């Protein structure tokens, strides 16, 4: 997830604080421009300050300067954050890319980077470098100190509102609004938990199913729809909407509870409740099933499911049944959605199948040969991406979405991906339209109202314009989605770096995979650097490239890719690899005093266990430990960014059936290149 970061520009001169405009004027004067008229009192401050305005020098006596870029110099670059180990990834990507080129052209090494109102960098410069920079058309001035911090974003990003988060997905579909309670959303799922941020009006569970399952899938769905606007946690699309939890099954309940039979029972129960309520409802099903190419014995179940959905949707004037808008996820197989979801494909039938987009407005699909949907559980399976095709009626946010979750400690919030999260965005829109538009009397009319609000940002899915659900029909421009893959890591959502946690340092003889791919781009510029020096570039190049398995000489390697869409929208990705020059840290784990070189057999819970590590050739370490108890997800229980070079955990009482892992990453800053190493150990309790 990308958070919006507050931007601040401070200008410090002679120990006083000046406005950025005054500083810009002073900078211009130093470069031959006419000095501006200073406000009253400023001249006195300037005259009183000479003693404190002495140039800042390094040990060699070289003066440090601030180099400001020309106002439009950075505009041709992508704004996405860049992985630069010196400055982190919080700076404006446009400015950082310009900075890298200026560094390479003038053989300078920046000590600071600035990327907000005053864009530029600080560096110790020789007189010759100062002269050359002032002649560079990209440079506006060389002048006194400025610090800046900035953040780049996608089309939509999470926004902090007080103590609450307004997720990017909620913004993409038109923002949050307070529900009037005029429509009920029925969530057919694993059972909505008792989360502090999610209102639940009623519960029901199918035979053998838990009313509240251990897997908080339904809780995540519910948060997208209706999380309260209460200055805490997250806010839903239709905040505080009336929810009914219809639990059809969970893997931790009775065997076979999550069955077609229970799904049909839940659909039936939804219709019963909607009839009793006397008003049109909305039903969300964020589950998918194989619908075609089935064995003969399964075909009747599929037919029953289809028939149940049609009966759920259709109003019946004789009984007074008002009908229901049916919303289903498209599925995560990166395949034809007709194979996995309700597939009548009838216009205005009151059913909507929803595919997933990312925060750039692009379809969530595989890049670099890797699936688009990483699992919450580190041991889980990565799913390929959103299904697509003629059965998808609308697209909505589904990749790296934040919502409500439950763990063994209670209510929490996580970021997750899948078309399961796209469907509830549209369910919430349907509920809001029912509440605010009395003229919408049937599910078909609600579907048509949503279709009328579908907007295209220029993205394509299988060559067809992708249309995103938006309550206001607000326009947006999709940006390319760009990812690197380096080693086993992807550069999204955070730029990947080998040689830093969680991966070990490389050696010159260690091969690693390197590739990039852009979705929704027309061309890309690629630049490669070694220790900050530009060594390779390819402008207006392909939107994907695979170096294969590569090795690199010792040094800090960085690859930047800037991509453009046909409409001129830009985005980028970066990757880095630190190839060690020797003297890597050596980390040794032990369990009960025995080194874990040959692995660790299952550990009995009857006797407390001792876990320890010892490191040589290290100046600092980071240590973390995490565990997964039976039917739970992984949780971190120890995290120390300043861990010692030796440590011991004892006595540890393990829970039967639990999995326990420790990971230590250490760096040797006394060696050239500051090589890093990682080691981990896992225990299975029996």
Tens digit of each residue's pLDDT (9 = 90 or more) over 456-511: 999 999 999 999 999 988 889 999 999 999 887 777 556 677 766 555 667 666 78
How far apart CA 217 and CA 249 sit, in angstroms, is 11
Give me the residue label for tokens 């040959």. 598
How far apart CA 122 and CA 111 sit, in angstroms, is 6
DSSP E strands: which ranges in 5-153?
8-13, 16-17, 63-69, 110-115, 119-125, 139-143, 146-149
How far apart CA 674 and CA 298 sit, in angstroms, is 60
Half-sphere exposure of 162 (CA within 13 A, CB side): 8
* pLDDT of the residue at 631: 62
- Two tokens, residue 341: 């979801």
Q: What is the pTM of this model?
A: 0.72
**Helices 217-226 and 419-436, packing angle to 10 deg:** 40
Please state whether the peptide bond connecting residue 502 to the residue before it is cis, i.e. omega within 30 degrees of 0. yes
- How does 541-578 read in b/e, with b if 16+ C-beta sit within 10 Å? eebbbeeeeeebebbbbbbbbbbbbeeebbbbbbbbbb
How far apart CA 673 and CA 671 sit, in angstroms, is 6
Burial classification of residue 604, based on how many CB atoms lie within 10 Å of its CB (0-12 exposed, 13-18 middle, 19 or more buried): exposed
> With a cut of 70, which residues of the chain have pLDDT below it?
1-59, 81, 87-91, 112-118, 143-153, 251, 254-256, 297, 377-380, 492-495, 499-505, 507-509, 598, 631-632, 673
How far apart CA 188 and CA 206 sit, in angstroms, is 10
* pLDDT of the residue at 208: 79
The 3-state secondary structure of 162-174 reads: CCEEECHHHHHCC
The closest alpha carbon to 518, from 546, 550, 547, 557, belongs to: 546
The closest alpha carbon to 484, from 365, 577, 575, 359, belongs to: 575
User: Which secondary-structure segment (H or E) carries 101?
Assistant: helix 93-106
133, 158, 231, 284, 645 from 327: Cα distances, Å: 59, 25, 29, 5, 54
* pLDDT of the residue at 59: 67
For the chain, state the CA radius of gyration. Answer: 29
DSSP letter string, 217-233: HHHHHHHHHH---SSSE
* pLDDT of the residue at 15: 23
Neighbours of 137 (CB within 10 A): 7
Sign of the four-CA dihedral 418, 422, 425, 431: negative
Q: Strand 146-149 vs strand 324-329: parallel, antiparallel, or unpaired?
A: unpaired
- Two tokens, residue 184: 């009920």
State whether residue 451 is helix, strand or coil.
helix
* pLDDT of the residue at 54: 53
Q: What are phi and psi of 43, to 5 degrees?
A: -65, -40
* pLDDT of the residue at 199: 92
Task: Judge contact between 671 and 582, C-beta under 8 A.
Answer: yes
pLDDT tens digits along 570-607? 998 888 887 777 778 889 999 998 888 767 888 888 88
- Two tokens, residue 587: 């980390």
* pLDDT of the residue at 38: 29
Active site residue ranges: 189, 217, 420
What strands, in cross-sheet order, belong to the sheet with 544-550? 489-490, 481-486, 512-519, 544-550
Half-sphere exposure of 548 (CA within 13 A, CB side): 0
């Amino acid at each position: 997830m990308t958070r919006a970061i507050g931007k601040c520009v401070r200008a410090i001169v002679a120990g006083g604080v000046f406005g950025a405009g005054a500083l810009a004027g002073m900078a211009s004067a130093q470069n031959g421009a006419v000095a501006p008229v200073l406000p009253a009192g400023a001249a006195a401050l300037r005259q009183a300050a000479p003693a404190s305005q002495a140039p800042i020098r390094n040990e060699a006596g070289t003066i440090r300067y601030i180099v400001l870029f020309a106002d439009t110099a950075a505009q041709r670059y992508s704004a996405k954050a860049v992985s630069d180990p010196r400055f982190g990834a919080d700076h404006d990507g446009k400015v950082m890319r310009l900075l890298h080129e200026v560094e390479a052209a003038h053989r300078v090494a920046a000590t600071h980077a600035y990327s907000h109102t005053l864009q530029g960098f600080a560096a110790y410069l020789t007189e010759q470098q100062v002269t050359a920079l002032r002649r560079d058309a990209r440079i506006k001035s060389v002048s006194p100190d400025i610090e800046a911090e900035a953040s780049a974003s996608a089309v939509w990003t999470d926004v902090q509102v007080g103590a609450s988060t307004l997720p990017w997905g909620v913004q993409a579909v038109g923002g949050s609004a307070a529900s009037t309670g005029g429509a009920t959303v029925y969530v057919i799922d694993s059972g909505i938990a008792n989360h502090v941020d999610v209102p639940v009006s009623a519960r029901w569970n199918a035979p053998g199913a838990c009313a509240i399952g251990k897997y908080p899938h339904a809780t995540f769905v519910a948060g997208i729809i209706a999380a309260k606007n209460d200055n805490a946690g997250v806010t839903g699309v239709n905040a505080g909407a009336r929810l009914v939890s219809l639990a059809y099954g969970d893997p931790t309940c009775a065997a076979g509870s999550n069955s077609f039979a229970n799904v049909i029972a839940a659909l039936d129960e939804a219709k019963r409740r909607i009839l009793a309520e006397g008003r049109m409802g909305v039903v969300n099903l964020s589950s998918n099933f194989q619908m075609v190419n089935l064995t003969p014995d399964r075909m009747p179940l599929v037919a029953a499911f289809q028939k149940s959905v049609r009966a759920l949707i259709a109003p019946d004037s004789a009984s007074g049944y008002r009908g229901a808008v049916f919303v289903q996820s498209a599925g995560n197989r990166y395949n034809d959605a007709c194979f996995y979801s309700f597939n009548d494909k009838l216009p205005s039938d009151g059913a909507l199948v929803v595919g997933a987009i990312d925060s750039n407005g692009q379809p969530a699909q595989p890049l670099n040969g890797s699936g688009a949907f990483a699992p919450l559980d580190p041991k889980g399976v990565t799913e390929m991406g959103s299904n697509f095709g003629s059965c998808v009626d609308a697209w909505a946010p589904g990749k790296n979405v934040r919502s409500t979750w439950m763990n063994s400690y209670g209510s929490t919030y996580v970021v997750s991906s899948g078309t399961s999260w796209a469907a509830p965005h549209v369910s919430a829109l349907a509920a809001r339209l029912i509440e605010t538009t009395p003229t919408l009397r049937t599910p078909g009319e609600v579907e048509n109202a949503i279709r009328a609000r579908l907007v295209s940002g220029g993205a394509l899915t299988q060559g067809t314009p992708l249309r995103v659900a938006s309550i206001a029909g607000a326009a947006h421009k999709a940006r390319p989605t760009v990812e690197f893959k380096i080693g086993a890591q992807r550069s999204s959502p955070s730029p990947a770096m080998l040689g830093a946690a969680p991966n070990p340092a490389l050696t010159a003889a260690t091969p690693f995979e390197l590739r990039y791919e852009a979705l929704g781009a027309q061309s890309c510029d690629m630049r490669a650097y070694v220790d900050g020096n530009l060594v390779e570039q390819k402008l207006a190049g392909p939107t994907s490239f695979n170096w294969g398995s590569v090795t690199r000489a010792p040094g800090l390697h960085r690859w930047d890719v800037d991509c453009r869409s046909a409409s001129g929208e830009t985005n980028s990705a970066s990757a880095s690899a630190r190839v060690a020059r020797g003297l890597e840290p050596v980390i040794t784990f032990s369990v009960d005093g025995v080194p874990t070189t040959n692995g660790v057999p299952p550990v009995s819970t009857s006797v407390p266990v001792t876990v320890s590590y010892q490191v040589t050739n290290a100046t600092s370490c980071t240590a973390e430990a995490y565990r997964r108890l039976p039917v739970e997800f992984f949780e971190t229980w120890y995290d120390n960014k300043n861990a010692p070079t030796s440590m011991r955990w004892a006595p540890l009482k393990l829970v039967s059936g639990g999995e326990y892992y420790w990971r230590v990453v250490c760096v040797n800053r006394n060696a050239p290149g500051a090589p890093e190493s990682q080691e981990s150990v896992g225990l299975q309790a029996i």
